[in-house]
Each structure stands twice: as C-alpha cells, then as structure tokens.
Amino acid sequence: MSAPDIVLLAHGSPDPRHARGVEELAGHVRALAPARPVHTAYLDHHEPTPAATASALGDHAVVVPVLITPAYHARVDVPSAVEQIASTSGARVALAEPLGPHPMLLDAAEELLLAHGVAPDPHTAVLLYAAGSSDSDAVAAVTHVVQEHPREGWGRWDVAALDGGATLEQVLRRLPEDTDRTVAVSFMVAEGILRDRMAQECGRHGVTMVPGALAQTDAVAKLVLARADNLPAGSLPG
C-alpha cells in the first residue's frame, strides 16, 4: 500500500504571510518526498478549508497539525477538522502529533541562526520567542524541550513568550553574566503580525532577531515527514 497523503492543517491568520509560509513548507515537504501527495488546509481565514481539501484526497491520509505547542487548537479544533475531513472524503484519515514540542524544532532554530551567520559560541545566548498561549502548560512544554536537549557549543537557550510565559524582559534578566551576545529566533511556523510584535520587542531591548521563520528550514520539513510516519497508537481507523 502506498504511503498516505499528507495534509498540513494550519490555524490560518488574517495576515497572508501565514498562508505563504505554510504553502512554502508544503513545497519543501514535496521536494523531500516527491512521490507523496501533500495538501494544505486551514482552520480559519484561508482557503482551502478542511472540507475542500478532503475532496482531493486519496484512499488514506494523515493530518499533521502545523502547531508549535499542544494548546487549545491541538486538543479541540484539530480533531473536529479531522473528523470533517474523514466524513467528507470517505478516506481513512489518521491524526499525527502536532509539530511541537519536538527537539527537531530546535534544529530548525539553529538552522535559521546558521543561515544568517550566527555560529555557535558559548557566550551567545539564544532566545526562542514564542507567540505563547493562554495555556501556560503549552509554553512550558517548549521550555522543557529546550532544557532536555541542550545545544552543543552555544550559551544558554531560553524561551520568551508574548503570552502565557516569561516575557522577553524577564528572560533577559535571568541570562548568565558571561553572556556577550543575545540573539532571538521567532519560534513560529510562518511570519506575520505576531512575529512583527516580537521583532519590535527585540528592537526595544537591543536584541537581534534573525530573519525568517521555522517553515523555511529543512528540519521542519523533515519533522512533518517524521510525524506523518510515526503515528500515535490507534490513530488510524481500521
């Protein structure tokens, strides 16, 4: 049996840069797995809707939520959308884990740093700047991954959030005294309004934020395939 179609299910945003980032990620996944159909769908704001994407699926598919934290959307909106895709398409549809939390997202952040000339240095601190969530446990999950997977050759890695976690100012205050340089990476799939807010905050505090977002990296495209091919037990209907 051929590998199932992949559906990248994203939240959507009024900012069109979000959809462009998700579509860029889909193209990257197609380049890594050219024989495999890769589709996109959005919970809100953008076409195609989950129902519209369902009409293009083959006999079986796996939905990969394009979400960085296991917050409300992953627990509530995504399963509802997957049910809609399955009932509309008649296909066997499995639900993969969201992209995050996962250590490969740290690989993606490091890939962005290296792409923009920021090399590992024990006196360079890296801040992963997350949009955050009203669910503080979702933000804490990112922090846990950072703590469990230290990055070789760098100074301290830490997590700041616009909502539901430590602010940029709070994180800066707790950096080690021997930190000579602090660089931020937008811990978001795509660029948009929230990333703009992050860049403004970084500018106010003298922190350099590297360009781009996670969807532009090889690591996230590989993570999509890893999630699609390593499903939770019982996720594929018989």
Where does the pLDDT of residue 180 fall: very low under 50, low under 70, confident under 90, or very high at 90 and above?
Answer: very high
Report d(CA 209, CA 230) in Å as an integer.
33
Helix (H, G, I), strand (E, B) or coil at 127: strand
Q: What is the rounded average pLDDT of the residues 215-233?
A: 93
> Of the candidates 64, 16, 74, which has an alpha carbon nearest to the alpha carbon of residue 193?
16
Residue 192 has pLDDT above 70, yes or no: yes
pLDDT digits (tens, 9 = 90+) for 195-216: 999 999 999 999 999 999 999 9
In angstroms, the CA 133 to CA 145 distance is 17
Instruction: State the pLDDT at residue 238.
Output: 43
Give the Cα separation of 235 and 62 in Å (integer). 9
Whether the per-residue pLDDT at 103 is higher than 60: the answer is: yes
Following DSSP, what letter does each residue of 38-83 receive, concatenated?
Answer: EEEEESSSSSSPHHHHHTT--SEEEEEE--SS-SHIIIIIHHHHHH
Average pLDDT, the chain: 91
In this structure, how many other beta carbons lie within 10 angstroms of the beta carbon of residue 6? 24
Q: What angle do CA 9, 160, 228 make, to 5 degrees?
A: 25
**Per-residue pLDDT for 182 more than 70?**
yes
In the numeric block, the tokens 């992953």 are attached to 74
* pLDDT confidence bin for 233, thresholds 50/70/90: low
pLDDT digits (tens, 9 = 90+) for 106-161: 999 999 999 999 999 999 999 999 987 666 677 788 899 999 999 999 999 999 99
Whether 192 contacts 162, CB under 8 Å:
no
Out of 27-31, 164-168, 175-179, which region has the weakest mean confidence (pLDDT)? 164-168
Share of the chain above pLDDT 70, in %: 92
DSSP codes of every residue in 73-120: IIIIIHHHHHHHHHHHH-SEEEEPPPS-S-THHHHHHHHHHHHTT---
